[in-house]
Amino acid sequence: MHLTDLKIDDVAIIEKLNLFDKEIRRLYDLGFVVGSKVTPVLLSPSKSIKAYLVKDSIVALRDSNASKIEVEYAKENSINR
Amino acid sequence: MQKRIALIGNPNVGKSTLFNELTGLKQHTGNWSGKTVGVAVGKYKNLTIYDLPGTYSLIPHSKEEEITSEFVISNNYDIALIVCDSTMLERNLNLVIQTLEVTNNVVLCLNMIDELSIKGISIDIDALSRILGIPVVGISAKKKKGINKLIDAINNFESNNLFKIEYKKEIEDSIISIGGVNRFDAIKKIINKENKIVNSYLFDSGIIPLDSIMKTIYDKCNYIIKIVVKKNNKYKYKRKIDKILTNKITGIPIMILMLTIILYISIVGANYPSSILFNFFNWLKNIITKGLIIVHLPSFIRDLLTNGIYQVLTWVVAVMLPPMAIFFPLFTLLEDLGVLPRIAFNLDGYFEKSNACGKQALTMCMGFGCNAVGVTNARIIDSKRERLISILTNSFIPCNGRFPALISIISMFFILKNKLFSSMFNVGVLTLLILLSVFITLIVSKILSKTILKGLPSFFTIELPPYRKPNVIKVIIRSIFDRTLFVLGRAVLIAIPSGIIIWLLANISIGNVSIINILSNFLNPFGRILGLDGIILVSFILGFPANEIVIPIMMMTYLSNSHLVDINNLNIMKDILLSNGWSIKTAICTLIFILFHFPCSTTLLTIKKETSSIKWTLLSFILPLIIGIVLCIIVNILFCLHF
């Protein structure tokens, strides 16, 4: 499953980053590391970019990039708000 | 003892706020990544503080991060002061650990410590200090809490670092074999795959250096966080505001509405002080003129001083100061609040379709203030191609030097009978013009990325920082002193020589015709094709040093023909323009030409500096000019067909 398959508020764990070295570095900096919890929280009006809650901060990723990140649902499936 | 302090931190952790608090320097802070582009140096008692651009890691991606990385790795300072956002400690620790691989002389400062209790987080600062082996101080830079403690920690600092991080054996072997000025220098070289022997050694051992190193660092961060951070799960990230601000239906209209409201307040609010200034300057001019007559100054010098320098100078002040003094603080408030990254988030789809970077929305927003600043800020864009696109298109966005010109022409020529409706109509026209310039920015970005700057959009991320309440009074003071007076000062400096040149051009005649008329007569046929006239074109050319003076030059030149002197309001200005053949068509074409002509000299010099290429500088000059010419000709033809 990919990051883009998640619905808003789904909680998932990052499994694999299928990106180039340079891009992975950037993701590492922002906390997108294998094993990190990640939750999509906002969808842009232009629909091609989403904001994710990762390591207590909100980071936006384009779908074209996020589709290369493999995730798996976390045990606690959805955060209640 | 004198100490050199390197101020390091992720973007948006309040580094610049702390820096300003300590040094009293008026560095502009804002709630988005990439505010500090270049090293700012300031002093606090015995400390020399270097404020470095925010970075997530010492392995740089963008030009501005490179500055920080090089500075930190060079270890040419006494203490590295790392500022963290306490509410996101885990991610921030990554940079702390990397820095500890460069030097043991680190002081960790947990900023925004006051936000922890609200968010139900608690941090065991003593434990963190013990584990890292460095002093850790919790502060609130904004509320000025804990700063003395921080200074004590710096002054009483003793190197007692016990912190060790151990990578996989193969990585540790490689670090030893590469050597380098410090461990992180070696790590950087390993990650960047600079050493062939090490590369193949690691490859043969089945180790991906980046993955392995970062995993070790993040595992360590995780381990530390588990010990020192306690979270009360009751707090949930609030995003009611973001839900509305980035909603698919309300998001973009709200943004446009915000822009419109800011423009409305600036325009309407500026009218009254503007006319007061005009009246005051006219009154003063009469007194000065009388005074100059009394001291028997030769009439041509008197005229040069009053109708040349004084006139242009006061024009610039009266027209520019009021809208700027309102616009800048309002804009700064939005910036400090953290709205700009949301704008980038909302607009990103359009930039992606133009094969450009979403951060271009940020540099575009900076362009509203000053295009030169927008061009410099393009450093936050990682990809060179996308950075160039952002630089080349930045001058399409009207800067503050051009707003007064747009505003005065719109309020002269787009009038409704009802006063309230009239000003709303004005704001509507101005908003449309801005949307046009954004639209052209997107189209040109697309064209550039399909032709000379071919390429696909690169990897893009942007952080949406938490909204933070700006300190309103500070914002007003800072934006007036830093930005308003800075821009005004620049305009005034240029207005003085310009006033002299214009007066000379208008008053020196060759065969009964003034030079300025010779020039404008020469350019007139071309101007007519654009729906303008020769004088308008001459004004734009003479206004090359600063767009602020285009309208004053234009008025001066018209005036020198019609021998009118006192202008104290827009109605008289409009009469002068009408008597010189202006119509609604001239107004529209001039508005378009204000948006799209050539960047001012400061912006061009900045582009030259940022691109270090004459080719791109030239293109940035020609590109808007061609667009302006084409659009003006189209408008002109449309009018000819219809009327």
pLDDT tens-digit series, residues A22-35: 888 888 888 898 88
pLDDT of residue B563: 47
Scanning B339-358 for CB atoms below 8 A from A yields 345-350, 352, 358
How confident is the model at residue B526, as a pLDDT? 93
Sign of the alpha-carbon dihedral angle for B122, B124, B129, B131: negative
State whether A55 and B56 contact (CB < 8 Å). no
Cβ-nearest to A28 among B87, B214, B348:
B214
Indicate the residue of A26, A55, A56 with minimum beta-carbon distance to B461. A26
How far apart are the CA of B247 and the nearest CA of chain A, in angstroms? 6
Q: Alpha-carbon dihedral of residues B289, B294, B297, B302, nearest 10 degrees?
A: 10
Question: How far apart, in Å, are the Cα atoms of B559 and each of A36, B308, B517, B576, B580?
Answer: 69, 12, 12, 8, 10
A38-70 residue pLDDT tens: 999 999 988 889 999 998 889 999 998 899 999
User: What is the separation of C-alpha A80 from the centre of its chain, rounded to a whole number of angstroms?
Assistant: 18
pLDDT for res B237: 61
Question: Two tokens at B142?
Answer: 């904004």
Residue B435: how many CB atoms within 10 A of its CB? 12
Quote the pLDDT of residue A81: 39
Q: How far is CA B299 from CA B281, B289, B478, B503, in A?
A: 20, 10, 43, 13
Domain parsing of chain B, residue ranges: 1-236, 251-467+485-642
- Give yes or no for a contact between A42 and A75, defined as CB atoms under 8 angstroms apart: no
In sequence order, the 6+-apart residues with CB closer than 8 A to the CB of B580 are B533, B535, B558, B561, B562
Give B47's DSSP letter: E
Residue A4 Cα, gap to closest chain B Cα (Å): 15
**Partner residues linked to A50 by β-bridges:** A43, A61
Alpha-helical runs (H) found in B101-140: 115-118, 125-132
Q: State how far the Cα of B115 lies from the Cα of B325, in Å rounded to an integer.
A: 32
**CA distance linking residue B530 with residue B524, whole number of Å:** 10
Cβ B323 vs Cβ B266: under 8 Å: yes
Contact B461 A24 (CB under 8 A): no
Give 10-residue mean pLDDT values along chain B (643 residues).
90 85 66 59 87 88 83 90 92 92 92 88 92 92 89 86 85 88 89 88 89 90 92 70 87 89 83 85 89 86 84 79 82 85 91 90 86 86 90 92 86 85 88 94 94 84 86 80 74 80 83 86 92 92 83 81 56 86 93 94 88 93 96 93 78
Buried b vs exposed e over B4-23: b needs ≥16 C-beta within 10 Å? ebbbbbbbbbbbbbbbbbbb
Cα dihedral B592, B598, B601, B602 in deg (nearest 10): 70
Residue-level pLDDT at B268: 79
From residue B498, alpha-carbon distances to A16, B19, B493, B560, B590 in Å are: 62, 38, 9, 15, 21
Q: Is residue A10 part of a domain?
A: yes
Interchain contact B248–A (C-beta under 8 A): yes
Name, in order, each residue with C-beta under 8 angstroms of B379's C-beta and a sequence gap of 6 or more: B34, B37, B62, B63, B64, B387, B610
Query: Residue B263: CA atoms inside 13 Å, Cβ hemisphere, count?
Result: 30
| In-domain check, residue A16 | yes
Amino acid at B414: F
The 8-class DSSP code of residue B145 comes to B
**Burial (CB count within 10 angstroms: exposed 0-12, middle 13-18, buried 19+), residue B389:** buried
Q: What secondary structure letter does DSSP report for B54?
A: P
Asked if residue A81 is part of any domain, the answer here is: no
Which residues does chain A have within 8 Å of residue B242's beta carbon, measured at their own beta carbons? 41-42, 51
* SS3 state of residue B43: strand
| Contact of A66 with A59, CB cutoff 8 Å | no
How open is the CA angle B54-B46-B4, to the nearest 5 degrees? 40
Inter-chain CB proximity B94 and A29 less than 8 Å: yes
Q: Which of A44, A50, A59, A68 to mutate to test the interface with B (most CBs of B within 10 A)?
A: A44
- Give CA B122 to chain center in angstroms: 36
Taking the CA atoms of B190, B195, B201 and B207 in sequence, report the sign of the dihedral they define: positive
Taking domain B1-236, whether its CATH number is 3.30.230.10 is answered by no
Give A16→chain B minimum CA distance, Å: 11
Which uninterrupted H or E stretch holds B482?
none
Q: List C-alpha distances in Å: B499 to B137, B312, B408, B514, B533.
A: 55, 5, 20, 16, 21
Task: Please identify which residue in the block is written with the tokens 């393009």.
Answer: B378
- Determine whether the interchain pair B91/A57 forms a contact, defined as Cβ–Cβ distance below 8 Å: yes
CATH code of residue A31: 2.30.30.90
Q: Give the per-residue pLDDT at B25.
A: 61
Mutate to test the interface with B, among A55, A64, A67 (most CBs of B within 10 A): A55
pLDDT at B500 (0 to 100): 86
Q: What residues pair up with B50 in beta bridges, in sequence order? A: B6, B41
Spell out the residues 6+ positions from residue B474 whose beta carbon is closer than 8 angstroms to its own. none
What is the residue range of A71's domain?
3-75
Tally the domains of chain A. Answer: 1
User: A44–B346: do the CB atoms touch at under 8 Å?
Assistant: yes
- Interface predicted TM-score (ipTM): 0.92
The per-residue pLDDT for range A5-19, each reduced to its tens digit, is 999 889 999 998 888
Let me know if residue A80 belongs to a domain.
no
Contact B604, B621 (CB under 8 A): yes
